[in-house]
Each structure stands twice: as C-alpha cells, then as structure tokens.
A = this chain, B = another copy of it.
Amino acid sequence: MSIEAVSWSNGKVKLIDQTKLPGKLTYVVTDDITVLWDSIKRLVVRGAPAIGIAGAFGVALAALKSRAKNCQALKKDVFKAADYLATSRPTAVNLFWALGRMKQAALSVEAENCGSLRQLLLEEAIHILDDDKMRCSEIGRNGERLIKEGMGILTHCNAGALATGGSGTALSVFFSAKRRGKKFTVYVDETRPLLQGARLTTWELLREGIDTVLIADNMAAQVMKEGKIGLVITGSDRIALNGDAANKIGTYGIATLAKAHGIPFYVAAPVSTIDFNIKRGREIPIEQRDASEITSCRGKKIAPGNVKVYNPAFDVTPASLIAGIITEKGLITPPYKNKILMLKKKKGCYGGK
C-alpha cells in the first residue's frame, strides 16, 4: 500500500501522524484548521511539499466551514485562513506557494459565480495534491540515472513519500532506481533532533526493500572517508534564484563534507520549492525551534535542564556546493540562475503561479 502523508477523506484532512512513526501508523483526521496549524507546527505533517498540500486543504476546509453569506465575506474568510496557516512554519516556501495558489483560485472567481467557490477551492487543493504525485514520479525518473550499480548514497532527514503528496523527492530517485532493478545502498543520517532519518526514511526505504544503513549524523564524514559514499541526495525546503538551497539542519555540513571528499551533492525538489522572489539563500528566514527538542530525545531528557540551546531547524547550502538540482522538469547544473528562470517558464510549471 502506498504511503499517503496527506489525503482528503470524507470532508476532512487525513494526515499520517509522523511523530508516532515508526512505532505506530496512526492518523490525525480533522476539519478544524487550528488542529491543522498545530499539526504542521508539531511536524505531524512535515516535508516542504506535504505541508504545502496540507495548507491547501486547510484553506479548502476554511471555505467549506465558513458561514459567510456572500462572496466577498467568503473570500475574506479564505484569505484569513491562508494567512493564519502561513504562520505555522516560516522556512518551506511550498506552503506559501500552495496558499498563494488557493488565494489566486479564490480571486479568479467573480462575484456572480461565487456559489461554486467552496467546491472550486477543494478541487484546487486536490489538484495540488495530484500534481505533486506526478512531480514526485518525474523527479524520480530525472534523478535515477545518477545512481550507479553498487553505489552508496547518503541522504539526510526525510525527503520521501512522507514529505510529499507522492513518492517523495530524494527518495523518489531511490524508488525509481530500485524499480529499474539497480542494486545500491542508502546511508541514512538519523537527523537529530527529531530523527526523521532514523524514524521515517529508514521505514520508507525498508518498505521498498532497499538496502539501508542507519548512521548517527556525526558519522557522515567517516563513511565518506571510507569510500562508502558515491553520491549525496537530499530534499530542499526553499531554493533561491541563484541555486542556494535551504534544507533540514545538517545539510550544509554534509554538502561541505561531500565537497571535501570529492563526492557530488544533489538536491531533489519540485519547482514549487523555488522562491522566485529571492536572489540568495541568505534571504531565507530560518525557523528556530524549541530548546526541548535538543535537551530531550523522543521525550527522554538527555541534558541538564538549565543548559542553553541553539536549535535552527534549517540551514542553507550555497549553490557552489550543489552539483545539480533534480526537478520534475529535469536536472539542472550550475550556473543555476538562468536555468532556474527557464524552469519557471517551462510548460506545466506551477512554481511561478
């Protein structure tokens, strides 16, 4: 059975509760957007594309539940919901992109046709989800050729089905290579503090029968030095016009280590991850998360209570460390700027909408 991180089920949004994996496969099913907001914040649903889709459904829910009596009031409720959901997490651009699409869909309807707006917004959210499935498959196909027989590939955090509406971004590449019968090993950073690698990526890879080796984050340099890694692929939460890419904290370190060991580092992400409004990575706001994530591990206290903590959720990998960006529109290589602008124009691209 395929993994559906976010789906629409009987008038509600259904989310796999990723905080409970791999121990339990349970769901949050809700038609309350405050619950949805909290689910995004707490990483019940996570991964840039997946939170975009969840946000879109949140806007659809707000429209369906709105008691507005006229079109203007309904649109106002829709915009309010979108703005509220945008405050849940600041770094991944796909959320703002999806919320923007929902707003635009609302704006596209004229007052006299507003009776169907609720239905139209739900269809738009479902469309965003379906598009993402297609994009994931295309990313897999476009990246698959990077994987050579017998190779070891390192990945960080979770850029899998759990992070998207489809089969993932970085992991979609692995799934695609596996379907082609290639043999390879994926080394998975556990990804402290929230252990998305240990909990989610290993779970997804093992389900597909992919040879998987879990390591602590601080072992990445050593496995590289030992010649075990031929390639690194991660996802991304926001990409600037120059190719700088924000992703889960630790990615920048891995990219730096990959460079030092002569290992190519790739980012896999849909075009919706590109923020066409920012030139450089330094413009990307980095979410700072709660100290308790560092002073504990899966709810178990691991450090003195009075210790200070630094807990950025993301970092930015400069384009100079990125060998290529694998998108649903193809794999692009440096220099990125013009190629990224081309992606915006390419047919079927939703990134610039």
Residues of A within 8 A of B (CB): 22-23, 156, 187, 189-193, 195, 198-199, 202-203, 206, 211-223, 225, 249-250, 252-254, 256-257, 259-260, 294-295, 297-304, 306-312, 315
Contact = CB atoms under 8 A, between A and B. Distances in A.
Contacts of A294: 190, 198, 214-216
**A interface secondary structure, majority:** mixed
A225 B315 contact: yes
A17 to B, nearest CB: 16
Contacts of A193: 216
B303 A190 contact: yes
Given A298-B300, A315-B225, A256 B252 contact: no
A5 B304 CA distance: 18
Contacts of A206: 304, 306-307
Nearest to A305: B22
B315 A202 contact: no
Contacts of A307: 202, 206, 212-214
B222 A253 contact: yes
Contacts of A223: 310
Contacts of A199: 302-303
So how many copies of this chain end up in the complex? 2
Most buried by B among A202, A216, A302, A315: A216
A303 B192 contact: no
Given A190-B303, A220-B253, 9 more contacts: A187-B310, A193-B216, A195-B302, A202-B304, A215-B294, A216-B217, A217-B217, A219-B311, A221-B256
26 contacts: A23-B301, A192-B192, A195-B297, A195-B302, A195-B303, A202-B304, A206-B304, A211-B308, A212-B308, A213-B308, A213-B309, A216-B217, A216-B311, A217-B217, A218-B218, A218-B254, A222-B312, A223-B310, A225-B252, A253-B253, A256-B256, A256-B257, A256-B260, A297-B297, A298-B300, A299-B300
Contacts of A187: 310
B308 A214 contact: yes
Contacts of A312: 219, 222
B303 A198 contact: yes
A222 B299 CA distance: 25
A181 to B, nearest CB: 21
A211 B217 CA distance: 25
* Chain A to chain B: the 10 pairs with minimum beta-carbon distance, closest first: A218-B250, A221-B253, A217-B218, A297-B297, A192-B216, A198-B303, A298-B300, A222-B315, A202-B307, A213-B308
A315 B221 contact: yes
B298 A202 contact: no
B189 A218 contact: yes
B253 A198 contact: no
A215 B309 contact: yes
Contacts of A298: 297, 300, 302
A273 B152 CA distance: 34
